[in-house]
């Protein structure tokens, strides 16, 4: 499994082609919005044929738990509110998941955040 940070201009199809894997396999291994939109800074786990990606795989501890989280590399200009809106979650959820000191906490470009996903019923 490869950890890939989405870049400006990337789409699921472009990434799938780059790594010779199907879009469906990427979706199966990540939380992806229903509209299939991905964002620069979003970290995707790209499955690789022939590799065991089970619990013994070095990056398995970073893989989002049951697709209920997204790992995200903060981009320049991001705020907690912007990130929360982008991923349909709450600022409080991001603060709690990352042990930040409240909604006004300073975040930095390149900082990796866990983004909890709220599934709407």
Q: Specify the pTM.
A: 0.79
Side-chain-facing half-sphere of 48: CA atoms under 13 Å? 12
Q: Give the number of domains in the chain.
A: 1
Helix (H, G, I), strand (E, B) or coil at 84: helix
Q: What is the pLDDT of residue 68?
A: 79
Mean pLDDT for 96-115 is: 94
Position with higher pLDDT, 30 vs 63: 30
Q: Max CA-CA distance within the chain?
A: 45
Q: Which CATH number fits the domain that encloses residue 40? A: 3.10.350.10
Of 37-41, 98-102, 117-121, minimum mean pLDDT range: 117-121
Euclidean distance between CA atoms 112 and 55, whole angstroms? 21
Q: Return the ∠ at Cα 114 (arms to 87 and 54), rounded to 5°.
A: 110
Q: What is the pLDDT of residue 58?
A: 54
The verdict on residue 81 lying in a domain is yes
The residue range of the domain holding 32 is: 2-116
The verdict on residue 60 lying in a domain is yes
The verdict on residue 102 lying in a domain is yes
């Amino acid at each position: 499994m490869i950890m890939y940070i989405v870049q400006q201009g990337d789409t699921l199809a472009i990434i799938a082609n780059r790594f010779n894997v199907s879009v469906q396999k990427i979706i199966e291994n990540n939380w992806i919005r229903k509209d299939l939109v991905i964002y620069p800074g979003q970290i995707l786990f790209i499955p690789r044929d022939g590799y065991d990606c089970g619990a013994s795989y070095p990056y398995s501890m970073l893989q989002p738990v049951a697709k209920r989280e997204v790992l995200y590399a903060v981009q320049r200009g991001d705020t907690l509110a912007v990130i929360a809106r982008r991923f349909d979650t709450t600022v409080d959820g991001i603060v709690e998941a990352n042990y930040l000191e409240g909604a006004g906490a300073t975040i930095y470009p390149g900082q990796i955040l866990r983004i909890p996903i709220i599934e709407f019923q």
